[in-house]
Each structure stands twice: as C-alpha cells, then as structure tokens.
Amino acid sequence: MTAIDVTPKGAAAPEHIPYEPPRQIRWTSTGLLLAFLAVFPLLFPNPAVTSIAVITMIFLVAAIGWNIFSGYSGYISIGHAAYYGIGQYTVALLALHAKVPAGWDTFGLLPVAGLVSAVAAVPIGFVVLRVRRHTFIILTVAVMFILQLLAFNLVSWTNGSGGLEMSFPTWQGSYFNEPFYYVGLVAAIVACAASWWVRRSKYGLGLLSIRDDEDRARGLGINATRTKLIAYAISAFFVGVAGGLYAPFIGSVYPQFGFDPTFDLAIAVLVFVGGIGTLSGPVIGALLLIPLQQYFYLQFGNANLYLIAYGVLFILILRLLPAGIAPSVTQLWRRALIARRRAAARSPAVPALAGQSPAGQSPAGQSPAAQSPAGGLPGAPPATAAVPHAGGDEVAR
Amino acid sequence: MSILQVSDVRKSYGGIQALAGCTMTFEEGAINGLIGPNGSGKTTLFNVISGYETADAGRVTLRGKDITNARADQVFALGLGRTFQITRIFPRLTVLENLHVATQRRGFVGQLRSWKSGAERSRAMEVLDFVGLTPLAEEPAGGLSYGQQKLLEFAFITVAKPSVMLLDEPAGGVNPTLLRGLADRIRSLNNEGITFVIVEHDMEFVMGLCDRVLVMHQGCALTAGAPAEVRANPDVLEAYLGSDMREAG
Amino acid sequence: MLVLQAIIDGILVGGFYALMAGGLTLVFGVMEIVNFAQGIMVVLGAYLSYALFSHLSIDPFLSLVITMPGMFLIGVAVYWSMIKPIKQDRVIMSLLVMFAVGTIAEGILDLVFTSNLVQISTPYVNNSFTIGSLIFPDIYVYAFLMSVVLLAGVYYLLYRTRFGRSLRASMQNPTAARLVGINTDWVSAYTLGIGVAMAAAGGMVFGLTNSFDAASSYDLISRLLAIVIFGGFGSLSGALIASVLMLVIQDVVAVVWSPTWGQTTFYVILILILLVRPQGLLGRKAVRAQ
C-alpha cells in the first residue's frame, strides 16, 4: 500500500515509468520496518509472542539465504534442510566437545555453523549442480535424506535417534527469548545485505542470466559452474546460521528435526509467497507467514491440521499470486501509474484522478512530453519508442 | 589472411546429416556472408563453431588455435560472439541488464562491484541509443517485439567487443527503416577491425553489405567469392531452385 | 549362501518397488511432472487395503479390485484440479504443488488413522516355502508375480494400444501431438491415474510387509526418487533395473556389513553414477542447446 502513495514522485520523471518504487520510499519503508523489528520485543514482551518472533527471525535468515541461490539462479532446492541440519549439529557438537558454555558464547559459534555448511555445500553442490531442473530438485532432496540417514547412523557422533541435548543459557526466565531475537535480527540484516549485494553486483547479473538461459549465459563467457557453486555456498552459509541459532533455542538436535523435509517445504512456500528472486520477497513471506503458521500451530495444537492448512495455503497462493506478493504489488502500482498517466494524457484539461492524490496534477502537466518521448532518439522508429507508454501490460507477452 | 577455419566438419542427428564434411575459410577483417537454402547446415555450422554443439568429426580453428568442441564460454573468451536466428536474450532481465551480461569482468573485485556505474554503462547506453531501445532500457527484455529482441541481441554482443561476430539472420524481423542503420553499424564495427560472418536470407542486405559470400548446400561448402560472382554462378541458382524456390529471390 | 539369499530377497522386493517407481517415472515421462506425492499415495493405498481388510475382511490382493480404480480416479481428479490450472513454469510449479498435495494427504491420513504404526496381517503373512536352503516367503513371491503382471500390463498398454501410441506421442512432442488431434489433457490425466493406481498396488504390498504410518511416505518417496533418478527419468525398464539393484545392494550390504548402512551405500553409489552419467542409467540425454 505504501507503494501506491508514491505516484507523484515516480511520475516526476517525464518519460519512463519506473519498475520499482522510488529510492526514498524504499529507504523509508526499510527504515520503518527495521525500527519496528528493533523495538518489537519491548512492545510485546509476552514470552509466547517473543518466541514466535525468534522462530520468525530464524526462518527469515534461512529464507533470504535460500533465495540468494534458488531465487536468483532459478535452481529450486528442496533440500536446504541439509544445511539447516549441519548448522544445528555443528553448534551442538562444538558446544558439547569444545565445552562452550551456554549463553552468549554459543552465539559465537554461529559463523562457524555457517562456514561448516558452506564448506559442506561445495562438494555437494559440485555433484548436484551438474544436473538441471527437476533432476536437480530431486537430487537436493536425496542429499538431505542421505544426511538424515547419516545423522541416524553415525551414533558415536550424533547419538542417532536419541539426539543431542544442549544446556540452556543462564538467562532463564521472562527475558529468555530476547537475546536470540536480536542475534537473529542481526543475522537477518547481514543476510539481507548479502542478498542486496548479489542482486546488484556484476556477479549477481551472471547468476540471474543463468536463471533465464543458462546455455546462452555460458555462450557469453559466464563460468556457470563456478557462479552457481558460489551462490549455493553463500546460501548454505545463511541456512547453516539459521540452524545454528535454532539448536540452542530449542535445546536439542534430532536427525528428523535437523534434516527436516517440512523445513524445505516451508522455506519454498515463504519465498514463493513473498516473490521468488526478489530482494523483499523472502522478507515479506517470512514476516507474514511464520507468525501465522506458529499461530495455527498453537491454535490447533495438532500437527495434522497444521499440515493440511499449510498445504492448502501454499496451493492457493500458487494459484492466486503465481508471481508472489512483492512483484504483484509492484505490478499493481505500476498499472495504476500507467492508467493515471493515460487518463491525464487523454484529457489534459481535467486533472484526472486528482481526488486520489492532489499532487497528481503535476504529472498531468508533463504528460504531453510523456506522450512523444522519441525526441532524443535518432533513427528510432516512433513505434519503438511508443511501446512502453502505450501500457506495460500489453508489452508483456 | 584467414581468421576462422572450418575443415571437414561433420555432424548428424540420427540419420540426418546436417554437416557433411564442411570446409570453409573466413577472411580476417572481412564481412563474410554465408548463404544457402534452408536446411543446408548454416545454423548447425554456427552452433558447432561457437561451442553450443559438438561436431562428430573435423576441425575448427580460430586464429590458428584449435577450438573444435571447446565450451561455449571458452570460445567466447577467445573473442568469438554470436547471435541466434531465434533470439536468445534474457527475458526476465531488463534491456539494460541484458547489455551488461556479456561484459564479464575479470578478478574478484570486478565481480563484486555494481554494474550500474562506470564507462561500461556509458558504452552500453551508446549502443542502446543506436538500436533505438533507450526508452525501453528498464523494460524486461521478454516484452520486446521480435525485431527489437534481434537488435538487443546484436547490441549485447557488440558491447562485449569480440573480434569475430557470427550473426544468424540479423535482419529478420527488424524494422526496414533500421536495416540501413544496422548495415552501417556493421560496416563501422568492421572498420574497427571486427570480422563478421553473416547468415541472411535477405539477399539485398547480404549482397550490399558483404565483401565475400560463401554458399552452403546440403551440409557442404558449394562456392565462395565476391557477391557479384556468386550471384552469377549457375550452381548457386540451381542449389536454391532445386530445393526451395521461395528463397531464390 | 546368505549372500545368495540376500540377492533373492532383493530381487523379490525390488519387483514391487519397480511398480511404485514405475508409476512415478511414467508420469514424469508423459508430462514432465515429478509426482512428489507418490510416497503418500503408496501409503494411502496401504491404508485403503488395510481398512478393507480389517473392517470388511477383504483379502488385500482382492482389495486391489477396489483400491486401484479408486486411486485411478484420485489421480485423474488431482490432474484436473491441481495440475491443469498451472499456467507457467509447469515443471517446477507442478512439483511444488504435488509436494503440497502430499503434505495435505499426510495431514488427512494422520488425522483419520492416527500416527500409530499398523500392518496388514493376513493369516498367510508369515508363510514361506524353501528350495534347497533358500527361503521364499509367500507374500514376496505373490507380490513379485503381481508386479510382473502389472508392469507387463502397463508395457502392453504403452506399446500395443492406441492409447499407448497417443501417450508416447504426447511424451515426445506434446505440441505436435495436440496438432494431430490427441487430447493431451486426457492422456495426462489418465497417465497420472495409472501412476497413482500403480502406487495403490505397491502400497498394498508395502502394507503387508511393513508396519507403516503416514510419515513412512518420506522414506518411501526418497527411495522411489532415488530409483527413478538412477534408472533415468521416464524409463520404465530403467526403473525396474534400478529397483532390483537398490534392494539387492541394500540386502547384500546388510548381510556382509551392517543393516544400518544398506540404504546409505545405495545412495552413495547413486551419486557416484550421477557424476559419470547425469541423466541416469537409461535416461535420455538433456535437450540440445538450440
């Protein structure tokens, strides 16, 4: 909804309709969101609420990480629980064997959990990235199950199905959740920064071109194997960090909850709902869905109903918003902008839709320029230049 | 001086022989036209040269260096870029982003930096301006018309400054008013020393532009020479008429 | 001798795994859809046979007359309601949708049958006969024979009937098939139906030979997918070979080393093979560049 309010600013540019809301709006909304997340536990100190908030942060980190690889490269992994599990076991085992005291010191293990996941991702990625599309998806699941089997079978390390217990930190009581929450928030910010960087760097452009046409990208000099592998390792890092935060929060690690197939579905759902391959998509998805899901869980107190509700929700969203929330909202905003400009161009005397926003009058004055922008284009046929202004919806075929 | 040499290249799909011992030499610094009736193996030859497909036998050399069955990214790194008959652009990237894909930077730091700034961008904008796509710079490339996609593909190969460019029907679907501009552009790039190999059915375009024309027929080289010579060669006419009348014009 | 016994066990059990994996690979071959719900469909088949046996005392093998057509209809319904409406990016989207369908089915089965492990326990479940010193459990032999008959039936359907011809045409070139008047939607719907019906038959045997609950589907689907990748997507004979190989490897490793490592060994072999042949044993090579 914030996106639609910004129309006047966007329309100030005479000849092109921007694809994303202007910079000020993006920075302001990001700032507001950050401020809200920073004070959230102070506003709602109820432990039941803050524990949902912690889980939300954990999934947020994982979703952003997952999107860096699967979203940008188009290779959908349904096996990232592999790294969630590796992160959990790394923290639990290090805490046990290196005698890391429970509490703040455990958080020091988070980067280690991420690194171990990323390092493990290199040989795994080398194998699974040799294949594409469906075979890739299935191989990722297979790898996840292999690791789960290993966790069950390597009893001397993992204690098999008995799982590993972690001691809880000393800050027991009503402020138990807050440190986890803030560490999670920091991790999420770091993940976001990484995702933002990948999206705008030359490297990330290579990744996105692989998503669109891998063979063509190769033919333009992109080393697709290395590009994919790096993104795979980066995303494993963040999912590993998420796991490393989850284990001490829950206080135990089990093969079936570390290498958890429903985690894979959950992450994919979040990102698809928010908008896959976008910067804000995983954030929107995680902040909307995880609290909702946790609420379902507490409300029904029954795993079956939760599974059913989640499955139905996923299918509905795939059906209704196949592109996800973030792209759909942007598209609506853009359409409104185009419609307004067209209306303004048709009857310049009447400030069209002025009631909706007083500032709408200023683009109305500029609309003649918007209608004939071909001025600076020697050799360009008028038809070419007119396309974007005729209406973005017809352009997309 | 030959820059690109194809000797006795063979390629078949099941029982169909697309290239039957094709031998050709492309002159350095020339605009080479490659013509032939449909199905004579032109596109397959391009695919084999540029590393998108592997040859069953034979040899391809670029500046004397053997590039037979090299990977597409290796061939590109050696300075050979190509376009496709059915365009292959990146539909979900914007037009401007498409232009930056082909100019990969070497080194870690180069990869880290944003592509949105620097001399690279001004060069991209200049090329974009030429093909008349500047107002569409922020549009997803998938929304462009076929002719615009052709120009975009030509543009992003140009930005990468390869020393040899293979163009597969560059004029197809392109607005006639832009065709002359395209020919001028090819000529001026050629003056900068870029060698062209152009597959094209628009005979007027080929004959007007190329220094030298090579003719393919049934997977083999038929003849080669100056445009006028080739046009007068009865074998060429027969090759076209024998297989496909419509292409003869 | 133990090893020989393990090999025989592996072949017998591999037969009905081939049935379940065959359903998966068939569906993939025709419409490029990875039926992630195949695991839970097997469990559904097992539960249906279990319910018919325990409430109406219908013999599990006989119950297939009811469960297979029933599950066939489920498959057709899932196609029309879930797969058909997908407009873009069908391969990925359908996979995710089937994953979600599986999750919903798991929740429902868990709700109806609770999460206590059950097994179909017919009187002949523990019978066996011996040849020399080799033991042949009756159910495994019946199940193997049934699988062979059903797989032969599917093979006949594919290569000897009109439907099979349209189906293979859709498999190779959906657009061209549509142009020559084949209704690819119905072909796809029937194929998903057949695939799911094969899961019903496999599920019945699974329910006879294992104790199971809804969560068994995860183990099942990971094995079935492994088999299908190993054999090559869309290859029915590949699925058969891979199933037998998987079960033989597993059983032999269990005898000569340790039962816990049987399945892991298979997965490791799978990955090694994929390093050499990414398309699987009998899979087609990836599409050409242009």
C70-to-C40, C44, C52, C67, C200 alpha-carbon distances in Å: 15, 11, 13, 5, 9
Give the mean pLDDT of A132-136. Answer: 76
Cβ <8 Å between A314 and C32: no
Q: Give chain C positions within 8 Å (CB) of B43.
A: 290
Cβ <8 Å between A319 and C110: no
Q: Give chain B positions within 8 Å (CB) of A383.
A: 175
pLDDT of residue A332: 81
pLDDT band at A301, cuts 50/70/90? Answer: low
Which of these, B109, B26, B94, B104, lies nearest to B62 by C-alpha position?
Answer: B26
Q: Which residue has the higher pLDDT, C42 or B180?
A: C42
Cβ-based neighbour number of residue B87 at 10 Å: 23
Cβ <8 Å between C86 and A318: yes
pLDDT of residue B107: 65
- Does any CB of chain A come closer than 8 Å to the CB of residue C110? yes
Q: How far is B88 from chain A (nearest CA, A)?
A: 7
Q: Which residue has the tokens 């792209």?
A: A327
Coil vs helix vs strand at A256 = helix
Cβ <8 Å between A221 and B110: no
Residue among A73, A304, A317 with most chain C CBs within 10 A, to mutate: A304
Q: Whole-prediction pTM value?
A: 0.81
pLDDT of residue A170: 76
Q: With 60 as the cut, is the pLDDT of residue C275 above it?
A: yes
**Number of folded domains in chain A?**
1
For residue A397, being part of any structural domain is answered with no
pLDDT of residue A17: 63
Nearest by CB to residue A212, choosing from B93, B129, B177, is: B93
pLDDT of residue A368: 37
Cβ <8 Å between A218 and B112: no
Domain boundaries, chain C: 2-276
Burial class (CB in 10 A: 0-12, 13-18, 19+), B26: buried
**Segment holding B199, helix H or strand E:** strand B195-199
Q: With 50 as the cut, is the pLDDT of residue A342 above it?
A: yes
Cβ <8 Å between B160 and A385: no
pLDDT of residue A71: 93
pLDDT of residue C63: 92
DSSP for A109-172, written as a single string: THHHHHHHHHHHHHHHHHHHTTS-HHHHHHHHHHHHHHHHHHHHH-HHHH-GGG-EE-PPPS--
Q: With 60 as the cut, is the pLDDT of residue A267 above it?
A: yes
Q: With 60 as the cut, is the pLDDT of residue A390 above it?
A: no
Q: Give chain B positions within 8 Å (CB) of C288.
A: 53
User: Please, which chains are in contact with B (at least 3 CB pairs closer than 8 A)?
Assistant: A, C
Q: Give chain A positions within 8 Å (CB) of C263.
A: 149
Q: Which residue has the tokens 């501009």?
A: B181
Q: How far is A208 from chain B (nearest CA, A)?
A: 8
Reported as a single tens digit per residue, the pLDDT across B133-181 is 888 888 888 888 888 888 899 988 888 888 999 999 888 878 787 788 8
Locate the chain A residue with the closest alpha carbon to B87. A216
Give the mean pLDDT of C90-103. Answer: 83
Q: List B residues 164-193 in contact with A (Cβ-Cβ < 8 A).
A: 175, 177-178, 181
Nearest by CB to residue A380, choosing from B75, B94, B132, is: B132
Cβ <8 Å between B90 and A221: no
Reported as a single tens digit per residue, the pLDDT across A10-69 is 333 334 566 667 778 888 989 999 999 999 988 988 888 899 999 999 999 999 999 999
**Segment holding C204, helix H or strand E:** helix C184-209
How close are the terminal C-alpha atoms of chain B, in Å?
A: 32
Give the count of alpha carbons within 13 A of C136, CB side only: 13
For residue A207, being part of any structural domain is answered with yes
- Does any CB of chain A come closer than 8 Å to the CB of residue C269? no
Domain boundaries, chain B: 2-248
Which class in CATH covers the domain with range C2-276? mainly alpha
How close are the terminal C-alpha atoms of chain A, in Å?
A: 27
Residue among A197, A202, A210 with most chain B CBs within 10 A, to mutate: A202
Reported as a single tens digit per residue, the pLDDT across C226-240 is 888 888 877 888 888
Q: How far is B43 from chain C (nearest CA, A)?
A: 10
- Does any CB of chain C come closer than 8 Å to the CB of residue B47? yes
For residue A364, being part of any structural domain is answered with no
Cβ <8 Å between B104 and A377: no
Q: How far is B87 from chain A (nearest CA, A)?
A: 10
Locate the chain A residue with the closest alpha carbon to C91. A134
Instruction: Return the number of CB contacts < 8 Å for B and C.
Output: 12
The answer to whether B22 and B221 have CB atoms below 8 angstroms apart is: yes
Q: Give chain A positions within 8 Å (CB) of C218.
A: 145, 261
Tell me the average pLDDT of chain C.
Answer: 85
Locate the chain A residue with the closest alpha carbon to B97. A205
- Does any CB of chain C come closer than 8 Å to the CB of residue B71? no
pLDDT band at A116, cuts 50/70/90? Answer: very high
- Does any CB of chain C come closer than 8 Å to the CB of residue B46? no
User: Please, which chains are in contact with C (at least 3 CB pairs closer than 8 A)?
Assistant: A, B
Cβ <8 Å between B88 and C288: no
pLDDT of residue B120: 76
Q: Which residue has the tokens 């509905």?
A: A316
Instruction: Return the number of CB contacts < 8 Å for A and B.
Output: 135
Instruction: Return the number of CB contacts < 8 Å for A and C.
Output: 116
Q: Give chain C positions within 8 Å (CB) of B52.
A: 289-290
Locate the chain C residue with the closest alpha carbon to B52. C289
Cβ-based neighbour number of residue C195 at 10 Å: 27
**Can you name the CATH fold of B2-248?**
Rossmann fold (3.40.50)
The answer to whether C98 and A140 have CB atoms below 8 angstroms apart is: no
Return the structure tokens found at B213: 């024309």
Q: Please tell me which of A351-360, B206-215, C89-98 the model is most confident about, judged by mean pLDDT.
A: B206-215
Locate the chain B residue with the closest alpha carbon to C289. B52
Q: How far is B68 from chain A (nearest CA, A)?
A: 15
Domain carrying residue A292: 44-328
Q: Give chain C positions within 8 Å (CB) of A137.
A: 34, 92, 95
Locate the chain A residue with the closest alpha carbon to B157. A220
